[in-house]
Amino acid sequence: MSTNTPQKPPESSSAMLLLMTRLHFYIGLFIGPFIFIAALTGTLYILSPQIENAVYKDALTTDNVGENQSLAKQIAAARSHLTNDLTLFAVRPAPEQGDTTRIMFLDPTANLTGARALFIDPVTLDLRGNLPVYGTSGVLPIRTTIDFLHRQLLLGEVGRYYSELAASWLWIAALGGLFLWYKGGKKNRAELASKTKHLRKRRRHYQVGLCIFIGLIFVSVTGLTWSKWAGGNIGTLRANIGWITPSVSLDLTSNNAMINTDEHADHTHQHTSKTDTTTPVVNIHPDLLFDGVLNAARDAGIDANKIEIKPSKGEGKAWFVREIDRSWPSQVDSVAVDANTMTVTSRADFATFPVVAKLIRWGIDAHMGILFGVVNQILLTLFGLSLCFMIVWGYKMWWIRRPTAGATSKPLLQAWAKLSTTQKLLTLFVAIVLGISLPVMGVSLLVFLLIDVWRWKRQ
């Protein structure tokens, strides 16, 4: 058969298949390395808690057994080890016997974090460690470094574009791969009969992609909530439709101390603790109020082992006490305490959160590998490694089938030009909406098109 036989123009369905094939190829070729780095560093972060506990065991634990001394004494012990007068911003009492208490100070000299924790033995008041800490989880230096490596490659704000680029395209790559597998299924099964090396790699690529498809969508969507541009748009959307996580009010200067951030503010109510006193507390150093605030919060139902106490930020502001155990079942209730009367003036209970707020909380914690403990870590580790291997197999497939010298491949815009008018308008509309909602993806799509135009003209 002559190789010059003219080919029949593809129908619109074939053109769509070709368009998705070229788009999937572009994503894999240009965005694949960024997704690979995000998956690999994310897997390292998932494994970091055990590394952290082993490396910093001396700071996190103590062999001394006995009755814990007051938080006031523990804070005084921590301050005695400071070389500079730092601002105390939070205290995390020892969760269990054998754990240390974290007394946390704002410290501009702490690299990456801006905060420092002094680990105090609650029994003997000995200093067990002095380390930079970061985030709600209070992660330590090794884990913090991995965290920043995953989010921004240790490049500062500019590095955040890499992770947003990966998260923006990952879900599209997943949906495109599913479409290609579905539409090209019969053809692929027929070709697999030849058992060629390339087709075996393609089958392996598809199989892994199908196995982790849900994970690809989940990690991509939850990852976007941390991003700079898309994350900001997601936050605005949540605010506009009322998907805001309830929180307490720390304002003591008005009668509206129970104001919340969503329509479930009526679940926020006043509570008088058992330690309530009718005599206001005056002229007492804030460090001496931690024990009373802790007792008030405990009486108000803050019963998790892992909690954090933040002192008032100024006149007319309440103290903030929250549960920070984000494993299953989640214990993330919080209360505001008036330290003058030791009364709870505002609260936010996780049990009363709207379903969407709960799902967002669980989704973020599952993404970080802390919701279901070790099981969560194992699943995310397998997912991350599978994604890395799938990307490697994708590159092998491309390398084996790469165009030889003088050969050409169909550009993306050439495939788009063969779509029906309805399909063109629909794809154009989707591209504009996604480009505005996910700006980093939109800019990178323009780069794809510029490269495609250059290839088309060159051919």
Do 36 and 158 lie in one domain? The reply is yes
Do 163 and 310 lie in one domain? The reply is no
Tokens at 405, concatenated: 């010298």
- Rounded to the nearest 10 degrees, how much is the dihedral formed by the CA atoms of 334, 338, 342, 345? -60
Final residue of a structural domain among 322, 353, 384 = 353
How does residue 135 score in pLDDT terms, banded at 50, 70 and 90?
Answer: confident
Gap between the Cα atoms of 365 and 304, Å rounded: 17
Tokens at 274, concatenated: 């058992």
Which range has highest mean pLDDT (200-204, 320-324, 414-418)? 320-324
Do 411 and 335 lie in one domain? The reply is no
Do 392 and 449 lie in one domain? The reply is yes
pLDDT at 4 over 80: no
- Say what the pLDDT of residue 452 is: 87
**Which pLDDT tens digit goes with each residue over 58-78?**
999 999 999 999 999 999 999
Gap between the Cα atoms of 46 and 57, Å rounded: 18
347: in domain: yes
279: in domain: yes
223: in domain: yes
DSSP symbols for 223-292: HHTTSSHHHHHHHHHHHHHT-PPP----B-SSS-TT--SSTTGGG---B--TT--SSPP-S--GGGGHHH
Do 40 and 61 lie in one domain? The reply is no
Do 174 and 319 lie in one domain? The reply is no
pLDDT at 199 over 80: no
Q: List Cα–Cα distances, 392 to 32, 37, 396, 448, in angstroms.
A: 9, 12, 6, 21
Tokens at 417, concatenated: 């030009």
Do 313 and 180 lie in one domain? The reply is no
Mean pLDDT in residue range 330-356: 96
337: in domain: yes
The pTM assigned to this predicted structure is: 0.86
Q: Give 116's strand partners.
A: 105, 132
Gap between the Cα atoms of 394 and 25, Å rounded: 9
Do 338 and 386 lie in one domain? The reply is no
CA-closest candidate to residue 28, choices 183, 179, 205: 205
Final residue of a structural domain among 139, 164, 197 = 139
259: in domain: no
Do 41 and 160 lie in one domain? The reply is yes
User: Which domain does 269 fall in, by range?
Assistant: 265-353
What's the farthest any 2 CA atoms get from each other in the chain? 100
Final residue of a structural domain among 90, 109, 139 = 139
Q: Are 323 and 302 in contact (CB under 8 A)?
A: yes
Gap between the Cα atoms of 141 and 407, Å rounded: 52
Sheet with 319-323, strands from edge to edge, namely: 127-132, 115-120, 101-106, 87-92, 307-310, 319-323, 334-338, 343-348
**Which pLDDT tens digit goes with each residue over 144-180?**
999 999 999 999 999 999 999 999 999 999 999 999 9
359: in domain: no
pLDDT at 31 over 70: yes
For the chain, what is the domain count?
Answer: 3
Do 98 and 219 lie in one domain? The reply is no
Gap between the Cα atoms of 365 and 371, Å rounded: 5
Do 323 and 176 lie in one domain? The reply is no
**Which pLDDT tens digit goes with each residue over 391-432?**
998 998 888 877 665 555 678 888 899 999 999 999 999 999
Do 37 and 158 lie in one domain? The reply is yes
Mean of the per-residue pLDDT values of the chain: 87
Enumerate residues 6+ apart whose C-beta is below 8 A from 120.
74, 77, 78, 100, 101, 103, 126, 127, 128
242: in domain: no
324: in domain: yes
Q: Are 238 and 337 in contact (CB under 8 A)?
A: no
Cis amide leading into 329 (omega within 30): yes
